[in-house]
């Protein structure tokens, strides 16, 4: 009985409620608010969590999330996502054990003011934050067996049912743990993606969303430049998402790790995208495809990363 009770305590520690309450952050922009909710609010390396991204705005404003909200999570593997009835995006995440850090990256929120004609658009970015790690599980103290009475005692029906329930709960916990370990082994290849491989995967997801085909050219160019800027941040540790194009190019030129020949083509790509994002330049499906080709050419021309050179 003592061993079964210890197993029950260990299984209860794996329950979602044992990992802490949800963690929520909100970010205020011009006429709109963006919110991020992580449940549970502490990261268990062997568990999963749900992230909810939402935006809200009062009339005459309307707010919109980025096309690929899952790209906002660094150090996690996105297992699936869906949008609920009120427009919030739910993303199921698993921590990446090999990641150097785990956090929610800044992401761009589009705000439309319909009180003027034509409607005015603006953007604001959220702030990054990192959820805390869950404390290590405390092992239950070994139970001390009470001395048996000389006379045998017949167990009651309630006691037998309780023991059977504890045994089933322990078996269910063991089966759940074996399932999680199996999925972790199958996802090992995904967790080894290099910064360039991750950028190419984000670019493919953006192209699959076909924002130009829906007339959302500004959204497309914002997300396209964010793919390249996040790659630069992961590869060279330059805080590209928070800098203007001029500040970023100046930081790249002064960084000895950043390859000098990459600055002119990267600058031309970002400045051309800024004309659509901020200057109202006309865009078409052809110019959008050309911008994606420039981004892909920049990523392909980058020097090989150490992790990629070591692969057969």
3-state SS class at 136: coil
Cα 299 to Cα 225: distance, rounded to the nearest angstrom: 12
The confidence score (pLDDT) of residue 123 equals 87
3-state SS class at 186: helix
The confidence score (pLDDT) of residue 16 equals 45
263-279 burial: b if 16+ Cβ within 10 Å, else e: eeebbebbebbbebbee
The confidence score (pLDDT) of residue 251 equals 85
Neighbour tally for 93: CB within 10 Å:
22
Per-residue pLDDT reduced to its tens digit, 1-19: 445 444 444 444 444 444 5
Question: pTM of the predicted model, to two decimals?
Answer: 0.45
Cα 79 to Cα 76: distance, rounded to the nearest angstrom: 9
Q: What is the 8-class DSSP label of residue 175?
A: H
Spacing of C-alpha 48 from chain mean position? 12
Q: What is the 8-class DSSP label of residue 38?
A: E
The confidence score (pLDDT) of residue 34 equals 94
Q: Where are the domains of the chain?
A: 20-130+174-191, 193-304
197-231 burial: b if 16+ Cβ within 10 Å, else e: bbbbebbeebbeeebbeeebbbbbbbbbbbbbbbb
Cα 97 to Cα 76: distance, rounded to the nearest angstrom: 9
Instruction: Please enumerate in sequence order all residues whose Cβ is within 8 A of that of 197, keeping only pairs 6 or more positions apart, or say none.
Output: 308
Question: What residues in the chain have per-residue pLDDT under 70?
Answer: 1-20, 137-154, 186-187, 189-191, 240-242, 306-312
The confidence score (pLDDT) of residue 205 equals 95
Per-residue pLDDT reduced to its tens digit, 156-191: 788 788 889 999 999 999 888 888 887 888 667 546
What class, spelled out in words, does domain 20-130+174-191 have in CATH? mainly beta
Cα 50 to Cα 55: distance, rounded to the nearest angstrom: 17
The confidence score (pLDDT) of residue 211 equals 93
């Amino acid at each position: 009985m003592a061993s079964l009770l210890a197993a029950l305590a260990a299984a209860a520690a794996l329950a979602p409620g044992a990992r802490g309450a949800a963690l929520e952050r909100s970010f205020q922009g011009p006429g709109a608010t963006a919110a991020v909710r992580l449940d549970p609010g502490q990261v268990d390396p062997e568990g999963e969590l749900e992230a909810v991204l939402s935006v809200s705005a009062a009339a005459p404003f309307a707010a919109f999330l980025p096309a690929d909200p899952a790209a906002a999570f660094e150090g996690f593997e996105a297992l699936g996502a869906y949008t609920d009835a009120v427009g919030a995006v739910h993303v199921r995440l698993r921590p990446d054990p090999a990641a150097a850090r785990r956090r929610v990256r800044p992401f761009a929120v589009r705000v439309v003011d319909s009180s003027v004609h034509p409607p005015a658009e603006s953007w604001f970015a959220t702030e990054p934050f990192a959820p805390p790690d869950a404390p290590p599980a405390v092992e239950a103290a070994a139970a001390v067996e009470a001395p048996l009475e000389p006379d045998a005692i017949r167990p009651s029906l309630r006691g037998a049912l309780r023991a059977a329930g504890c045994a089933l709960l322990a078996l269910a916990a063991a089966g759940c743990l074996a399932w999680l370990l199996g999925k972790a082994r199958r996802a090992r290849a995904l967790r080894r993606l290099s910064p360039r491989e991750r950028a190419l995967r984000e670019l493919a997801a953006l192209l699959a969303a076909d924002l130009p085909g829906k007339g959302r050219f500004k959204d497309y160019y914002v997300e396209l430049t964010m793919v390249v800027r996040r790659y630069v941040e992961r590869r060279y540790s330059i805080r590209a998402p928070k800098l203007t194009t001029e500040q970023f190019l100046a930081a790249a030129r002064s960084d000895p790790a950043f390859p000098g020949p990459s600055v002119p083509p990267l600058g031309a790509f970002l400045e051309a995208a800024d004309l659509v994002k901020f200057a109202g330049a006309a865009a078409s499906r052809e110019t959008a495809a050309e911008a994606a080709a420039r981004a892909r050419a920049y990523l392909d021309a980058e020097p090989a990363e150490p992790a990629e050179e070591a692969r057969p």
